[in-house]
Amino acid sequence: MAEDLQDGKLMPEDQARELAERYLRSRYYELEKVKFSACELTTIEGNLAYRFQGTVFMKSRGIMDRFVFNKVNNSYRFKFDINAENGQIINYEFI
């Protein structure tokens, strides 16, 4: 695995993180913020992949939501797998 990193075949972690965030924002327009908490380089089906974990924060749905609901109620944890060589999205899920 260290050899692949030295050869420069893998996309940088920051670029993969940006792709993951752009994908989530394109699918969920009500996203307010994406916060990544962990990243690991792993192997999925024989391919190197970045596995991101974090939290997304959704925008309030209405004016009263700000007063009635706690801000934590609008947050969801996620896992996101992206191919480290070509940037293809492998899988994502809210947990």
| pLDDT tops 50 at residue 4 | no
Strand-pairing partners, residue 89, are: 82
State the CATH number of the domain containing residue 6. 3.10.450
| pLDDT tops 60 at residue 2 | no
pTM: 0.77
Distance (Å) of CA 13 to CA 31, 68, 78, 83? 22, 38, 17, 11
Using pLDDT thresholds of 50, 70 and 90, give the confidence band for residue 6: very low
Give the residue numbers spanning the domain of 7.
Answer: 2-94
Q: What's the domain count of the chain?
A: 1
Using pLDDT thresholds of 50, 70 and 90, give the confidence band for residue 25: very high
Nearest Cα residue to 36 out of 48, 49, 24: 24
Write down the pLDDT at residue 72.
Answer: 53
Mean pLDDT across the chain: 84
